[in-house]
Structure 1
Amino acid sequence: MVTSHYKRHLAKTVTWRIVGTLDTILLSWIITGNPVTGLKIGGAEIITKMVLYYLHERIWFNRGIRDSRKRHLFKTLTWRAVGTLDTVLLSWFISGNPLTGLKIGFAEVVTKMILYYLHERVWYRINFGLEQHRESRSWRKT
């Protein structure tokens, strides 16, 4: 039986991947000038980022940072480091140009950090998968 917090992590993984993939496709298209390259990079990231994001969620699940805003900021920073490295490598591989990989990776640092922080704030307000977990953790603040 899959517990509710696993379902929550999977749901967060899917929703974040939709947002992140659309951002990557758009940035890659703008930087390369080629929509097909943008779609290839975004498509490749669907697999790598979903696995990496799920693992990131599992690692952060029981961390004891009590202030929700600090927690979301730290999660944003650690995820962005992992995500940017993945994007740089995939973009380099798909475009064949390391400079293109760096441009795409660093362009998304700003957009993805903002989008990720907002995604975390939205999910913080959603109870899906937290019914039992919130009962045992009364320290969560808005």
Structure 2
Amino acid sequence: MPGLITRISYQGLAGPPDRKARSFTFRIKITTTDPARGSHLLVSAIQQPYAAFTTFATPAPPLDIRQGRGIVTALRITVGTCTGIPRGVSLPVLEVTLSNRRTEERVSFGLGATYAEDLEDVLTELCPLSVPRSPQAP
């Protein structure tokens, strides 16, 4: 099971969000803990599981992760619509498709509290919540 030997860690935002493009970029590090000598892991897809988001990775998959060496990749997320974006999610995830010599699987990885806080801050900046207006007095 490739998901059991894979670690993905949040490395932080890669700069401020781009309000005009309604996008932001963050970095992750992908490593494998497979003890087999010469083993490697193939990452064939990385996505946010939200329909409002488009994900672009640099370097782009497929990524060949060798045991003992991690790869840092930047994920640029573009928000297509502010309707239906995740707000206040305590454990947002990435959907990652992994394979090794034995099998392929799609796995959800939680990136932790710092990512959740950064995601909430960025989404608040890119898609401010509308403030309901008080009814006007007659």
TM-score, reference length from structure 1: 0.40
Q: State the structure with more CA Rg.
A: 2
- More RCO (CA 8 Å, sep 6+): 1
The structure in which a higher percent of residues are strand is 2
